[in-house]
Structure 1
Amino acid sequence: MTPHQNPPVVKADAHHHGDDATFWWQTTGLPLSRLLAVSDYAEPDRQSHLAWYRRFVAPALGPRPVPGVRPLFQPCPVYDGSPCELSTNFKERSPQRTIRFTIEATGRDAGTPGDPFNQAETTRLLRAMAGHVPCLDLHQYDIFSRALFFSPEDAQALLPRVAPGTPLSQVWLAFDLLRGGGGIMAKVYFMPILKWIETGTETKDLVFAAARACTRHGSYDAPVRLLDDFLVAGAGAFVVEMVAIDCIDSPDARIKVYLRTNVNTLARAKHVLTLGGRLSGPLVEEGLAALSELWPILFRLGEGGVDAETAEIFPSGSYCGCAVEMKVEREEPETKLHIPVRKMEGTDAQICESLAAWFDKRGHAGFAATYKKNLEHVFPDHDLDGTRGTHTFISFSFSKRFGVYMTMYYSTRIFGAHLKADIWEGYDDLWGMEAKER
């Protein structure tokens, strides 16, 4: 049951705010600290990033969970309800890894009539950070938030039309923690599906209209046209479920469109990564060859004569996502596969074993040898050998600069390693309804 169906009768008192921030520091900040340490961040960088996290991020995660009490608003950047997801970015042609994390900033009024969809805290947090994150720029954020956010009155009017079980989140934040005094890179993720319910306008058209309004450094029209052509040709097989922006003032600022797909085989993965053959050339072919090597290792398809191209690697109804990264004045976007490894059979330890074999194959024997041990250090309370769910996604792409470019995403599992709920199932139900109406 979702927050708008059965809200609790109590709300956190103001004098508990400091206790809440301490809770989030202990449950999310300390694992982040350990992840930075095992990833060999220099101590000045590590201390700077953690001081910033403790000052800005931990207080923005909202009321801590109370056992037996349903929260007024349920954040959902992670399928299990954790408000924070950590990640490690691996670049094949670099010895250094970049640590990242994703949160849903949650305000004290989230879930109330004043902020039913928890929009206000993200804006407040970004504005508060503006003087402390030198490269932070909110031009594109303002365009997308105007296009996709709701007024409190419109949100209240929409609530009765939202199917029970649907997550109500509208926006997530992500941050790359850079090295060498490079500071912090901010990204924002918007979910347009509730706006589709309100307006009847397809999510792709909502997102493309906002993208076309971002003209400070040029036009996104060319990659938007190419992606739209792919989506129209797919006759509804692929839909836009999320869009992300880089919060920087640069012609390199990306708009990333996340597609919900039918990808559960290697052959389908290749189709979507090339946007149905619209992306081609030697670099694309090199990337597909690398994916073809990773696929049987990651999914343990090496036995029994399994055809890696056509073997379905997830249970029925579970699929990979695809991010399409657009930049101004560049006709061809780049694509990235997002693999929901939490839905694989087996344990996190088996995912660690597969990843170690892959990293070793690509010439990173040291990272391979320490991957599982480091993850156990970061999450000492997670039973990697007995459960799955610490790994949430693995993304894969290939670039001329970095070669294989992968990110491993981890749930902080705030609610324990054995939580059975998957709050994202509400999105599955809603997209099924959307498909019927197309």
Structure 2
Amino acid sequence: MATASPVFSPAQTTAVAAAPTPTAQQFWTKWLSDILGPLMAHSGSYTPEQMAVHLKFLEDHVAPTLGPLPSEPRNTYTQTYVDSPFEPSLNLTSSGKVKVRYGIEVVKPYGCEHGDDPFGEQRAREVLPALARACGADMQWIKTAMDAFFLTKEETEAMRGKLPTFMPSALLAFDLDGDKTMMKIYIIGMRKAIASGLPSTNHFILGALRKLQPLGEQLAPGLDTVAEYLATTKHHVMLIFVGIDCVDPTVHKSARVKVYLHTSSNAFEVVRDVMTLGGRLVDEVSLKRVEMLRDLWPLLRNEKPGEGPDPVADPAAYDAWHKTDRLTGTPLSGLQYNVEICPNKPGLETKCYVPLFQHTRSAQESEAAMERVLDRLGHEWGSDTGKYRNCVAAAFGKHRVSPTFLSFSYSKSKGAYMSSYLPGVLAAGHEIESGDWEYK
């Protein structure tokens, strides 16, 4: 987790002090709505009625889960690099409308590390079903995932004091599709893997996914491919968490389980290795995905003229080149990936996440880099329209900071598609420079 010092003008300080203190739910409702409302409006994808439905869901169901006011005693949020429990995103595909999404973390009660729920898992067992019921999500995979990855009471006591408590017990994400709210959950399986006593964390996590019901056994071929790759790759690839679609996989044939990976290197030869799982994915779509990503790589890393080997003149040297991150040694360094496994269809789909703020020094520089990528893809939100930067500015104003991740993948049905993840800033802040990064 990282923090940037908040910056307030005297006028802001006076205004905040003079205003009556809102309740926590009032604060979170206004704060969430002030960001999500403009994003939906400027996306051009939602009617006023649909926007009202989503804002009401925020007020009634999401805001009450986010804990006390940020100014009150609380745990440090881990969702984004700006100490925030909320991360909206814009999903931009070659086909279809721009969609708004957002993620939240299950905020642990302050001081829980000293009580019966040191890791916040009991809290997650309350929050996940409640939000699932509120948006009509299916509970089958959620329930079996919690049983597979959360500690028993005995394991909780055994691990107390042995494992850090700052990691969230779970994260959630919501896709806003028309007036529907589609839910996904993310769980870090490392805690349970360590408690299990098994020598391999990867073996435990992938094995636990096989136990999901229904259709867990149909995930086995894809999970076996991932396990084989992780056991044989020469690169340092870590399995960090899993993601699960909260739909009934017997009804929704596109339901997915996602395995998230991390590499400290951003060299393209590493990217190619992960995106093809060491050459195991060689179908036409997988190869085109890598080809398109290679073309975008100088833009995704915001490379300047003369920086690094020439990708055309010396492709081998370029592919081996790791561009140094601005802020090293953090979970937001290097790259993240996911491997999507669907029990109802063969094949695997991979996606790459680039921490854009590691290669840019301002929101404006990040936005320009994002627009250049959209230009290269021929997307209607490219530089000439100003739609991307105007949408972000409407939600965050002049104090916005750089996006966290920018993700890329390609499929036959969607074409090229990307998501721009935008950290929810709690107070007027400043860009994180190399000298004021604090990671605890």
- Hey, what does 2:391 align to over in structure 1? 374
The counterpart of 2:377, out of the listed 336, 339, 362, is 362
- Hey, what does 1:30 align to over in structure 2? 34
Alpha-carbon displacement from aligned partner over 1:300-327 (angstroms, at most 9, x marks no partner): 3351273342332232553101101111
- Hey, what does 2:276 align to over in structure 1? 274
Alignment of 1:56 with 2:61, yes or no, is yes
Residue 252 of structure 1: how far off its partner (Å):
2.4
Separation in structure 2 between the aligned mates of residue 225 and residue 357 of structure 1, nearest angstrom: 38
Separation in structure 1 between the aligned mates of residue 381 and residue 109 of structure 2, nearest angstrom: 44
Counterpart secondary structure, 1:160: coil
Residue 156 of structure 1: how far off its partner (Å):
4.2
- Hey, what does 1:120 align to over in structure 2? 122
Matched residues, percent identical? 26
Greater displacement, 196-205 / 245-254 = 196-205
Query: 5+ residue gaps in structure 2?
Result: 3-19, 312-318
Separation in structure 2 between the aligned mates of residue 129 and residue 346 of structure 1, nearest angstrom: 36
Residue 281 of structure 1: how far off its partner (Å):
2.3
Alignment of 1:327 with 2:339, yes or no, is no
Counterpart secondary structure, 1:195: helix
Greater displacement, 33-42 / 153-162 = 153-162
Mapped contact 1:382–1:417 kept (Cα < 8 A)? yes
Alignment of 1:47 with 2:59, yes or no, is no
**RMSD (Å) for aligned C-alpha atoms:** 2.6
Separation in structure 2 between the aligned mates of residue 105 and residue 416 of structure 1, nearest angstrom: 24
- Hey, what does 1:222 align to over in structure 2? 221
- Hey, what does 1:90 align to over in structure 2? 92
- Hey, what does 1:205 align to over in structure 2? 203
Alpha-carbon displacement from aligned partner over 1:361-380 (angstroms, at most 9, x marks no partner): 32224454221122111101
What does 1:118-157 correspond to in 2, within 5 Å? 118-134=120-136, 136-151=137-152, 154-157=155-158
Greater displacement, 225-234 / 143-152 = 143-152
Residue 18 of structure 1: how far off its partner (Å):
7.2
Separation in structure 2 between the aligned mates of residue 146 and residue 403 of structure 1, nearest angstrom: 36
Q: How many residues align?
A: 398
Mapped contact 1:382–1:390 kept (Cα < 8 A)? no
Separation in structure 1 between the aligned mates of residue 431 and residue 195 of structure 2, nearest angstrom: 32
What does 1:92-111 correspond to in 2, within 5 Å? 92-94=94-96, 96-106=97-107, 108=109, 110-111=112-113
Separation in structure 2 between the aligned mates of residue 100 and residue 313 of structure 1, nearest angstrom: 30
Q: 1:170 to 1:235 in 2, by over 3 A?
A: farther
Mapped contact 1:141–1:247 kept (Cα < 8 A)? yes
Residue identity matched to 1:293: D
Separation in structure 2 between the aligned mates of residue 311 and residue 382 of structure 1, nearest angstrom: 34
Separation in structure 2 between the aligned mates of residue 82 and residue 377 of structure 1, nearest angstrom: 19
Mapped contact 1:158–1:198 kept (Cα < 8 A)? yes
- Hey, what does 1:240 align to over in structure 2? 239
Mapped contact 1:222–1:329 kept (Cα < 8 A)? no
Mapped contact 2:171–2:186 kept (Cα < 8 A)? yes
The counterpart of 1:259, out of the listed 261, 281, 284, is 261
- Hey, what does 1:187 align to over in structure 2? 184
Separation in structure 1 between the aligned mates of residue 352 and residue 417 of structure 2, nearest angstrom: 11
Q: TM-score, normalised by structure 1?
A: 0.83
Alpha-carbon displacement from aligned partner over 1:375-412 (angstroms, at most 9, x marks no partner): 111101525xxxxx530111111111111111110111
Counterpart secondary structure, 1:230: helix
What does 1:156-171 correspond to in 2, within 5 Å? 156-162=157-163, 167-171=166-170
Residue 28 of structure 1: how far off its partner (Å):
2.3
Separation in structure 1 between the aligned mates of residue 117 and residue 70 of structure 2, nearest angstrom: 19
Alignment of 1:414 with 2:426, yes or no, is yes
Query: 5+ residue gaps in structure 1?
Result: 3-15, 384-388, 427-438
Alpha-carbon displacement from aligned partner over 1:99-141 (angstroms, at most 9, x marks no partner): 111111325464441221222333323333444423x111111
Mapped contact 1:86–1:100 kept (Cα < 8 A)? yes
